[in-house]
Chain A
Amino acid sequence: MKGKNENKLDQLFKDGLSGSEDHFAFREEDWASMERLLDNKPSKKAVIRRIIYYSAAIAALLLLAVGLFFFNRSDKAKNELAVKPKTKTGAPAPVRKDIDQNGQSIKDKDSVRNINPGTENLAKNDINSNKDKTGSTLGITPGKHNQQNNIPVDQNPVNPNVPGNKTTKDSADKNKTVPPVDNNNNNNNAVDPSKIASKTDKTQNNLADNTTNTKQPDTAGSVTTPVQQTKKDKPSLKPILRTGPRFTLAILAAPDLNAVNSFNRNQVGTNFGVQLGIHLSKKFSISTGASYAVKPYQASGSQYNSIAWQGKSSTDLPNYITANCKVLDIPLNLNYQFYAKGKNKFAVGSGLSSYIMLRENYHFEFADGSGKPSYDIQVDGRNQHWLGVLNLNATYERRINSKFSTIIQPYMKLPITGIGVGRVDLRSTGVAVGVSWNINSALRPK
C-alpha cells in the first residue's frame, strides 16, 4: 500500500520534471562564465578565496618583516621614553643647570682673564653686581620667558658682558674687546640689550685677535648645548600634553576563513563589529572593541577533543564534525604605525582576543561502517575564552577627510587555548574592511 503510494510520488516527480528541456531559455551570462572557465580563468568564488589567501599571506609576511623592525624600534622608543622623564624633572629646575654653567663659564672666564686681565677685573665686579640684580628674578623667570629669552637671562651672571646676545660667538669676542663701558650699558638696558651689544660686536669683531677666536668654541659650546636640549625635548612633550590621546571609532566587516589546525579545509564565515582606537602617540595606538563572528568549520574526530571520547579508539570517533559557532570577539591590540605619508597610513598590530561563545552547533557524522547514527548538539553560552586568542593584523588606512578614513585590515587569529566544547585549534583569517571615524574631530570645534 505504502510502496504503491511512494511510487506514485516518484512517478509524479519523474513525469513532472522530465521533458522540460525547452523550459530554459539560453542565458548569455551563463555562456560568459563558461567562456571564463574555458579560458582557464578561475571562477569568482575561487578569486575571492584567493584574494583572502593572498592578503592573509601578505599580512603574515608584513608582520614578519616589520616585526623585526618593530622590535628594534621599540627598543629605541624605550630609550627615548627613558630620556623624557629626565627632561620633565629637569624643566622646573633650570637654576641648577645655570649653576653648573656658571662653574664652567667661570673657568672659561678665568682663561679669558689671563689674556685681558684689565678688563676682566672690571667684568668680575659686574658679575657680582649682575648676580645680585638678576639673581632674584632668575628663579622666577625661566618658566615665563620663552627659551630664547631664558638663556640670555641665565647667562647674565656668567658672562656679564653679553647679557642679551643671541649669538654666543659675538659674546666671546666681546669679552675681550668690549670696554667696561659696554657692560654698564648692557646692565642698564637689561630689557633688550641685544641690539646694542650686537652692534658693538659687529664693529669690534674685526679687532678681535686670533687667540680669542680659539677660545670661542668653549664658551659657545657651554652655552649652546643646553639650548639644543631644551629645544628638542619641548616639542616632543607638547603634543601629548596639549591634545591628550586621540580617539577613533571604526566599523569593520570581514569575510572570514575558518579552519582547524591548518587552512587546508576551510569554510567562509562572516565577522563584523566596532573598534575603538586610542592613539597614545604618533606611532602607537591601542585598539579594542567587539565584533560578532559566525564561524563555520569542519574538523575530524581526532581534532575534536571531547571528554566523553577519552580513551576511545580512533575508530569509535566520528568521521567528521561540522560546526557553526557564533562568537563575540573582544580584541585588545597594540598597533604600531610604521608608515604615514599623505593620506595613507600603514600599521601592524598584535594582541589578544577574548572569545565569548554565544552559540555552538555541532553535527557529528560517523563512518558508514560503524553503524552509528549522526547527531547534533547545541551549546549556548557555556564557553568563554578570556584572552585566549592571539591576534595578528596589518592595517592600511586611507584618509577620506578630516573625520573619516577607510580601513583595510588583513588579520589572523590563532588560538592559544582550545576553542569551544571540543577545544579545537580554530584558526581564522580574513580581511576586514571598514570606515574609521576620528572622534576628536567632532569634539574639538565645540
Chain B
Amino acid sequence: MGEAELQQLIAGCLQQSRKDQKMLYKAFYGFAMSICLRYAGNRYEAAEIMNQGFLKVFTNLHKYDTGRPFIAWVGRIMMNTSVDYYRSNLKLSLNDDLDAAEDIGHDELPDQKLNYDDLLSMIQQLPNAYRTVFNLFAIEGFSHEEIATQLGISTGTSKSNLFKAREKLKIMVLNSGRLPDNGSEDIRHKIIAIGAISVGISHLIELIMR
C-alpha cells in the first residue's frame, strides 16, 4: 500500500467512512493478527483482542502522529491491547507445574527448522503470564524493567516467568523432534487400552447375561 493511499484511507476513517474503515482493517488484518496470535491462547481470543485493538485505532486515529510510520503505531496498539487483555490474568491465572521449571539437562537445541504454525502452537500452549513476558522480552525486545512497569509486576516475577517460559518452550522444541517416536508409543498404548477395555466390557456383559 502506497503512502498516499494510506493517508487517504486514514482521512476517510477520520470522516467515519465505514468503507474506508473496512479497507484499513483489511490492509492491516494480517499484521495485527500475527501480533495478537502470539499473545493470545487461541485464534478466537486473538480475533477479539485484534478487534478491540482496531477499535482503539479507529477511535484514536486523530491522535496518530503522521510523522511516524503508521504500521508501528498499529503494532504498538495491538501489543498494548494484548497485554491489557491478559493483565487481569497475569497474576491470577491458575498456573500449573510451578516446580516443573527445573533444568532438564539439554544444553543444545537441535538444528531443526520449525515452521510458523508449530512455533505458534508452542507459544500458545504457555500459560498467559509466561507467554506475555516471553513475547515482550524475546520477540519485542523489552528489558525486564520495562516489562515489569508495563505489566505491573516485579522484575523478579518477569525474570522468573521468562525463565519458566523458556524451559517449557525448550521441552516442546526438543520433543517436537521425537514426535514420531512418541506417536508410535502413543498408538501402542491406545491399542492396549482399547483391548483391555473391550475385554473388560465383554466380561461385564457375560456377567450381566448370567
Contacts and interface: CB of A to CB of B under 8 A. Distances in A.
B51 interface: yes
A18 B98 CA distance: 29
A15 B57 CA distance: 27
B22 A31 contact: yes
Q: Could you say which of B18, B55, B91, B116 has the most chain A C-beta atoms within 10 Å of its C-beta?
A: B91
B94 to A, nearest CB: 5
What secondary structure prevails in chain A residues at the interface with B? helix
B92 A365 contact: yes
Q: Could you say which of B47, B92, B98 has the most chain A C-beta atoms within 10 Å of its C-beta?
A: B92
B30 A43 contact: no
Contacts of A8: 109
Interface stretch (A21-29, A108-116, A325-333, A337-345): A21-29
A35 to B, nearest CB: 8
B34 A319 contact: no
Contacts of A17: 34, 38, 116, 119-120, 123, 139
A16 B176 CA distance: 15
B86 interface: no
Contact of B109 (A9, A27, A298): A9
Interface residues of A, number: 41
B123 A13 contact: yes
A377 to B, nearest CB: 12
B119 A376 contact: no
Q: Could you say which of B18, B94, B169 has the most chain A C-beta atoms within 10 Å of its C-beta?
A: B94
Contact of B25 (A23, A24, A31, A363): A31
A80 interface: no
A10 interface: yes
Given A31-B25, A324-B94, A9 B157 contact: no
A5 B107 contact: yes
B107 A26 contact: no
Nearest to B118: A16
A443 B115 CA distance: 64
B94 A361 contact: yes
A368 B55 CA distance: 32
Contact of A9 (B22, B33, B170): B170
Nearest to A20: B34
Contacts of B47: 27, 30, 33
A320 B92 contact: yes
A38 B173 contact: no
Given A13-B139, A37-B51, A21 B92 contact: no
Contact of B94 (A33, A38, A363): A363
B133 to A, nearest CB: 12
A33 B26 CA distance: 13
Given A13-B139, A320-B91, A37 B108 contact: no
A322 B94 contact: yes
Contacts of B199: none
Contacts of B37: 24
Interface in B85-105: 91-95, 98
Interface string B41-64: 000000110111011001000000
Nearest to B28: A21
A26 B55 contact: no
A16 B94 contact: no
A34 B21 CA distance: 10
B129 to A, nearest CB: 10
Nearest to B37: A24
A23 B34 contact: yes
A1 B107 contact: yes
A14 interface: yes
A24 B166 contact: no
Contact of A14 (B22, B34, B138): B138
A21 B58 contact: no
B201 interface: no
A241 interface: no
A43 B44 CA distance: 13
Contacts of B54: 34, 37
Contacts of B58: 38
A2 interface: yes
A37 to B, nearest CB: 5
B72 to A, nearest CB: 13
B73 interface: no
Contacts of B109: 5, 8-9, 12
B142 interface: no
B114 to A, nearest CB: 6
A75 interface: no
B127 to A, nearest CB: 12
Given A14-B139, A31-B25, 10 more contacts: A1-B107, A9-B166, A12-B119, A13-B123, A13-B138, A22-B30, A24-B37, A26-B29, A34-B54, A374-B95
Interface of B: 18, 21-22, 25-26, 29-31, 33-34, 37-38, 47-48, 50-52, 54-55, 58, 91-95, 98, 107-109, 114-116, 119-120, 123, 134, 137-139, 153-154, 157, 166, 169-170, 173
Interface of A: 1-2, 5-6, 8-10, 12-14, 16-18, 20-27, 30-31, 33-35, 37-38, 43, 298, 319-320, 322, 324, 361, 363, 365, 368-369, 374, 376
12 contacts: A8-B109, A10-B137, A12-B173, A13-B119, A24-B29, A24-B33, A24-B34, A33-B47, A34-B51, A35-B18, A37-B51, A38-B18
